[in-house]
Chains A and B, each alone.
Chain A
């Protein structure tokens, strides 16, 4: 047993923290939230130079061949600094399924540009039902000769407005089990028949509606096998749940730190409000939760790095995400309240964290979804 970070990991963490503090202070975060693109290509380029996009990809595809813990540490710092941009959809959601299910040619073609920061990807799974379950995927893909014809609507596709490529899940056959008959495609968002609209979100992050009208996708663009797309989505589910949990961990730590600090400074009734038990015990509850979340995330990441079976990692990942969802929401709401009325203003950073709550909960699976996944692992 060893709960310490290696010196390399310490370096990854401190570099990431410094980089984000310098390159993307809160004024920039606010500016990017208001902008059309939602990210800064210049910051993105520097992130690629630091090797972040390929941090957990093999060297042969331009990666650094680090582990999931390394990537989790970077995501944690992104959550702390609220760094906006397409890192999550590109790296967390799309790079790993390409690595695991792509043909040699697909990997060769798609991964080096991701690692180099030249290609932005996004994931189009969610539809009108808003559900993470397989039954939520109703979009049709019909085989016609050498192509599939895609028809339907995808929602909440992060940064699709900037994406160079999309992973799209669609239904290629109907069966009794909704997990069968799903196929994952690599789709060029500039294909004829695709229309993309920005959804206006409360957090200002970029999420899109994509309308597919008789969009033709070559059969060579299947990721994995036809009708057997569920394992691809499973892997995406697990990587996104884990890495979103890491990002949320960074966010709650920042919120808790700023609120603890505030409770030491703010004087009422002649004393720091942090000396009042009602305030102090509330902070303690959050502090305890954050410590638990931290090790759920790290151990889940470690299980993947240690090459233990996906089965061993998956309940822990679901535990991490369910816990992250609960703790993130609670920390943001409680800490805004602990600030009093000032916590409710646009001026303070704390609101920026809370505005991300709903996107954070949805991406990688909501709490009820993951509680059911944990229960599934018992049988």
Chain B
């Protein structure tokens, strides 16, 4: 056992911190969303993506021929951890591009697809921004129940249907779309395919969904007779579900490390503020912070364990679900105790005439309101626990 990074990895950590000092505004606050809240924010985020790309960091784990550096999982973990701690924006290219489009193309794509799409993502170009069309109105947790159809006509697929909760659809150039290509398949898991759709295609409509505190992150996306060349099929027709399952664990490897960095920073800000207000003298505040601190260290260790397993050539199964359940729990506790620490100031918005009274503390205000919706992204707590029960404990399917 060895619980420390190599000197090389630690030096890389310093390099990232230098980048943060040079490129992010001194008052840069932690934000929750990769997509930003306005056009100006999005432009800034994309400018950082470009700089991360120039550093070679944006897609560092990809092979060199597609714009990567062939970096180790440990180096990527340090990058993710620091990214979370400092709130470095623009690391995901609309979330999907860096995390799963590239890695899935390596696993299942054609050489032509890899050469066409991956360098655009790696270069931090606006044309390298992706969204992912999985969820539908009747396919949430039961995502294999999706209905959006792609019917092959000659050299094209004709797509009709609707996606929902699609992050970054309003900014994306491409959609990584799950569709039903065989409506007569024996089971709902068969007959699903992954197709790449140009968001500029005629028949694609994006409609924003505002959440209950007025932020726009999610969208509805409508497909009306959208024509896509058959070359845009990823992997095998009707085998999309199985491809997704295989790549899922790998896609989520770095998420836990970024979350850990983020949570550690939020905790530090809370402790500093609570100390300044004399609140750590109150045992219920002090002990709750200490208790969350334990789970944040646990999160670090489990995130590292996941990467370690992958470095041993083991495909993660339940681990990403475990790490997500833990992260949601930590965020809930951090934001609740954070809002308690803020007291009446927790009610204020970031704008308006009384801005001087606004106190953010590592973004806990935004976290507190948005977490309820964000925690269901990429699988609710209940779905994750089903996965852990089946693959971690070997229990029978429970749904």
**Contact residues of A with B, CB < 8 Å?**
1-6, 9, 69, 260, 263-264, 271-272, 274-277, 280-281, 283-285, 287-288, 291-293, 295-296, 298-299, 302-303, 306, 316, 319, 322-323, 368, 371-372, 374-375, 378-379
Contact = CB atoms under 8 A, between A and B. Distances in A.
Contacts of A379: 275
Contacts of A9: 1
A3 B308 contact: yes
Nearest to B2: A2
Contact of B298 (A292, A371, A375): A292
Contacts, number: 131
B270 to A, nearest CB: 11
Interface string B223-247: 0000000000000000000000000
Contact of A3 (B1, B283, B286, B395): B1
B326 interface: yes
Interface stretch (B51-59, B136-144, B349-357, B383-391): B383-391
Given A2-B308, A288-B326, A283 B302 contact: no
Instruction: Name which of B297, B308, B322, B392 has the most chain A CB atoms within 10 A of its CB.
Output: B297
B12 interface: no
Nearest to B319: A291
A88 B78 CA distance: 39
A298 to B, nearest CB: 6
Interface of B: 1-5, 74, 271, 275, 280, 283, 286-287, 289-291, 293-295, 297-299, 301-302, 304-305, 307-309, 312, 322, 325-326, 382, 385-386, 388-389, 392-399
A371 B297 contact: no
Contacts of A281: 382, 385, 389
B396 A5 contact: no
What 7 A-B pairs come out closest when comparing CB atoms? A292-B298, A295-B301, A275-B396, A374-B290, A280-B389, A371-B290, A2-B2
Contacts of B302: 291-292, 295
Given A3-B304, A275-B398, A287 B392 contact: yes
A271 B275 CA distance: 53
B287 A292 contact: no
Given A283-B389, A288-B388, A372-B290, A302 B2 contact: yes
B301 A296 contact: yes
A3 B307 CA distance: 10
Nearest to B323: A288
A202 to B, nearest CB: 27
Given A1-B2, A372-B286, A295 B291 contact: no
Given A264-B395, A275-B395, 20 more contacts: A1-B5, A1-B74, A1-B304, A2-B1, A6-B1, A276-B398, A277-B382, A277-B386, A281-B389, A285-B385, A287-B388, A292-B295, A292-B298, A292-B302, A299-B301, A302-B1, A302-B2, A323-B294, A372-B286, A375-B286
B294 A280 contact: no
Contacts of B382: 277, 281
A258 B343 CA distance: 45
13 contacts: A1-B4, A1-B308, A4-B312, A280-B385, A280-B389, A281-B385, A284-B325, A284-B389, A287-B393, A291-B322, A298-B3, A319-B294, A372-B290
A284 B283 CA distance: 30
Contacts of A374: 290, 293-294
A120 to B, nearest CB: 31
Given A287-B393, A295-B302, A371 B1 contact: no
B393 A283 contact: yes
B1 A322 contact: no
B398 A277 contact: yes
B291 A371 contact: yes
Contacts of A1: 2-5, 74, 304, 307-308
A277 B286 CA distance: 35
B301 A280 contact: no
A206 B294 CA distance: 32
